Structure 1
Amino acid sequence: MSDSNVVKPSLQHKAPLPFVGQKRFFLKSFRKVLDEHIPNDGEGWTIIDVFGGSGLLSNNAKHLKPAAKVIFNDFDNYTERLKHVDDSNRLRRQLIDVLSDYPRQKLLDKSIKPKVIDVIKKFEGHIDMRVLSTWLLFAGKHATSLDELYASHLYNTLRRTDFPAVDDYLTGVEVVCESYDTLLPQYADQPKTLLVFDPPYVNTQQGAYAQTGYFGMVQFLKLMQYVRPPYIFFSSTRSEILSYLDFVQECDQRTWQRVGNYEKISLKACMNKNSSYEDHMIYRFE
């Protein structure tokens, strides 16, 4: 099948809208692994982005392997957010009018904070709380409601430019919205099906995800029952996956035969100058 017969999105290097945990620093490694293990344009293959998040991995997979069936499980309703990019850009411009002369990265004082809140209250359009949080809250903070935002310390971290157009971000990608334990059984025995996992970290704060608090230890253990090659699994030293795999290797050879003998790529990530951790991409194709 030639490229002229397939439809693919333009390749993106980061998600068009903010999303906690997007894997943009792993994209080079992700692309390399796909090219090494899925031949040509991916005809005959299915790639399932089980915890789709921002859809960035789905975008890259479909661009690189355009003949493959790529399924983006939009469990966090990212596609709904994409529909309102124009509103977010319009709100940004209105906030810029208020904050244009205010120092960046600085706490809003008592004279300017009410003006910012007034702009938001009068805005006629969709308000994306995740976008607004990245613009007005300290790094890493997230407000789930406007009342929570208004009660917080606000900062001028407003984006300098509009968000880009997103018309073809998921071109050719099949979008679904299902829990992993209803999605994965549909493809359990299907050949040439790559499972891509990027689940929330177990027992960590998940307020920035649509399904707050839904992924705990029991959910993690249920998920691991569905993991089988070929798979790519993203994790971190902040999660339990490597400790779990060490335990399985020692105590559960049957499970180890299914999920073990993997390869690993690690990247160092810094939260701030005093805190860092490692992100991991674990994968197995045979």
Structure 2
Amino acid sequence: MISIPFSGSKRNRYKEVKQIIQDNGYKKVYEAFGGSAVLSVNLFREGLVERAVINDYDRLFDLYPAYLDIKDTLIQKCLEAGFIKSNKRLNATQRAYLQSMIATIDEKYWRLLANNFVFSGKQTGSLKPLYFTYFHNDITTDKQREYLQTVQQMERVSMDYKAFLKQYFKDFDDTTMIILDPPYMNSTQKAYDNRYFFGLSATLQMLQMVKEMQVDFIFFNMIERDVIEVLKVFGFQDFEVSTRRITQTSTSSREDCLAYVRNHF
């Protein structure tokens, strides 16, 4: 399995999703909220599906080639300046040097560079150069370039999830699986492309839409009992849930629920 720093907890659910795909003979996967698209990327890479379409809504992979080159250059300059990879904060001189370089880079790349230079607790939607105070995590780009090569072999679009589902609806059949990983309705971080609130109402609208399409889907959200309740509201009866606890900080964790819904009537 391959992943990138932005794959989050979904990389840990790949084995479950892979088993669902294999056991039920799905051949086409459509990931409506792409993000890193780690599930679709690996299903396609392993030849488990014949078609994988990802909705790269925030155009992450448009930025990726240039980002990787920028990262390589930045890492090299840091190493030449004597930086040592560590989980500890850089000293004042090193922070000033790093921040001066970050200030010269287009802001659209900052959220990608944050993985190596920003404390993990900072929100990437409102970064400033002064937040760049670390030199940690994987400082190479080989694995990310391998991942990008797979993405470039796949079908990739960028549109609102509703438009995405409507566009590909004509291709849906009994071998189709939709993957829905929207902003979690129970989360305090509900921004959709850093602009739109995606809470309970938006989640219900999404589920109504996929119900009418009568296509099987995998639905990720946070709290298991809430996921079960909203599925029952729409009359879904044939579904399975699998929930794990995800570590957020050294003192807190949260539920991460996967629901596999058979949506044929």
Give yes or no for TM over 0.5: yes
Residue 198 of structure 2 corresponds to 215
Query: Which one of the candidate residues 24, 33, 40 is aligned to 1:37?
Result: 24
1:205 aligns with 2:205: no
Residue 11 of structure 2 corresponds to 24
Question: Is the alpha carbon distance of 1:35 and 1:171 closer, same or farther for their aligned partners in structure 2, counting shifts above 3 Å?
Answer: farther
Residue 231 of structure 1 corresponds to 217
Question: Is the alpha carbon distance of 1:131 and 1:61 closer, same or farther for their aligned partners in structure 2, counting shifts above 3 Å?
Answer: same
Residue 252 of structure 2 corresponds to 275
Contact 1:206 1:212 in 2 (8 A): no
Q: How does 1:240-255 map to 2 (within 5 A)?
A: 242-243=225-226, 245-246=228-229, 249=232, 252=233, 255=234
Q: What is the identity, as a one-letter code, of the residue corresponding to 1:186? A: Q
Residue 234 of structure 1 deviates from its aligned partner by 1.5
Please report the RMSD computed on the Cα atoms of aligned residues, expressed in angstroms: 2.8
1:176 aligns with 2:176: no
1:150 aligns with 2:129: yes
Q: What is the identity, as a one-letter code, of the residue corresponding to 1:225? A: Q
Q: For residue 247 of structure 2, give the secondary structure of its aligned residue in structure 1.
A: strand
* TM-score between both structures, scaled by the size of structure 2: 0.82
Q: How does 1:53-202 map to 2 (within 5 A)?
A: 53-65=35-47, 68-84=50-66, 85-101=68-84, 104-122=86-104, 128-144=109-125, 148-152=127-131, 154-157=133-136, 159-164=138-143, 165-166=145-146, 167-188=148-169, 190-192=172-174, 193-202=176-185
Residue 4 of structure 1 corresponds to none
Residue 261 of structure 1 deviates from its aligned partner by 2.6
More helix by share: 2
Q: What is the identity, as a one-letter code, of the residue corresponding to 2:181? A: D
Q: What is the identity, as a one-letter code, of the residue corresponding to 1:135? A: N
Count residues with an aligned counterpart: 254
Contact 2:54 2:155 in 1 (8 A): yes
* TM-score between both structures, scaled by the size of structure 1: 0.76
Residue 115 of structure 1 deviates from its aligned partner by 1.4
Question: Is the alpha carbon distance of 1:98 and 1:69 closer, same or farther for their aligned partners in structure 2, counting shifts above 3 Å?
Answer: same
| Alignment deviations for residues 103-162 of structure 1 (CA, whole Å, 9 cap, x no partner) | 722223333221112233456x897212322222212323446xx422337233253333
Contact 1:53 1:74 in 2 (8 A): yes
Residue 49 of structure 1 deviates from its aligned partner by 0.5
| Alignment deviations for residues 7-57 of structure 1 (CA, whole Å, 9 cap, x no partner) | xxxxx4312xx3264510001111111100116xx3xxx321010111212
148-157 vs 176-185, which moves further = 148-157
Contact 1:133 1:149 in 2 (8 A): no
Q: For residue 13 of structure 1, give the secondary structure of its aligned residue in structure 2.
A: coil
Residue 13 of structure 1 corresponds to 2
Distance in 1 (alpha carbons) for counterparts of 2:89 and 2:124: 16
Contact 1:92 1:158 in 2 (8 A): no
Q: For residue 199 of structure 1, give the secondary structure of its aligned residue in structure 2.
A: coil
Distance in 2 (alpha carbons) for counterparts of 1:69 and 1:114: 47
Residue 175 of structure 1 deviates from its aligned partner by 0.7
Question: Is the alpha carbon distance of 1:87 and 1:283 closer, same or farther for their aligned partners in structure 2, counting shifts above 3 Å?
Answer: same
Distance in 2 (alpha carbons) for counterparts of 1:51 and 1:112: 38
Distance in 2 (alpha carbons) for counterparts of 1:66 and 1:160: 31
| Alignment deviations for residues 197-238 of structure 1 (CA, whole Å, 9 cap, x no partner) | 11111363256x64444423332121111234411112222x
Question: Is the alpha carbon distance of 1:271 and 1:22 closer, same or farther for their aligned partners in structure 2, counting shifts above 3 Å?
Answer: closer
Contact 2:99 2:132 in 1 (8 A): no
Percent identity, aligned pairs only, is 22
Distance in 1 (alpha carbons) for counterparts of 2:178 and 2:73: 38
Q: For residue 54 of structure 1, give the secondary structure of its aligned residue in structure 2.
A: coil
| Stretches of structure 1 lacking an aligned partner (at least 5 in a row) | 1-11
Contact 1:13 1:27 in 2 (8 A): no
